[in-house]
Amino acid sequence: MKFNFQSFLFKIFSFVFLSVSLFQTDIQVAKADFSVLKPCKESPAFKKRLATSVKKLENRVKLYTPESNEAKFLLKEIDSTKVRFERYGNSNLLCGKEGLPRIIATGQWDHANEFVIP
């Protein structure tokens, strides 16, 4: 196996150029505007989404007898839906205009609960 000096020199030059260019870049801090987002517990669209989800499940429960396994499952699903929406509302998440919670992962410590522990 023959040592190719030009190939070795090219690889060293490429590595040095790439490392210098990566460390010389000017990284700008993200300045996001969250003024269009509302806390979920104050968002009318979030409340409407909860009401719609529960209403759909309640309409499905009406199709079964109260003692059936399907009805019991749907009642548990209604309870878990209410708990989920309550947990979103109490965790200081911000919601968009359609009522869906947003995860803000800009590195701001006041939103750390959204991206540090998923």
> Please, which residues have CB within 8 angstroms of residue 48's CB and are 6 or more apart in sequence?
99
98 — pLDDT class (breaks 50, 70, 90)? very high
Asked if the model's pLDDT at residue 115 lies above 60, the reply is yes
pLDDT at residue number 109:
67
β-strand pairing of 38-39 with 101-102:
unpaired
Whether pTM > 0.85 for this model: the answer is no
pLDDT at residue number 83:
96
The Cα-based distances of 20 to 6, 7, 84 in angstroms read: 21, 20, 48
The fold adopted by the segment(s) 33-115 is Helicase, Ruva Protein; domain 3 (1.10.8)
Domain ranges in the chain are 33-115
Measured between alpha carbons, how far apart are the two ends of the chain, in Å? 52
**Cross-strand bridge partners of residue 69:** none
Q: Are 104 and 32 in contact (CB under 8 A)?
A: yes
pLDDT at residue number 32:
63
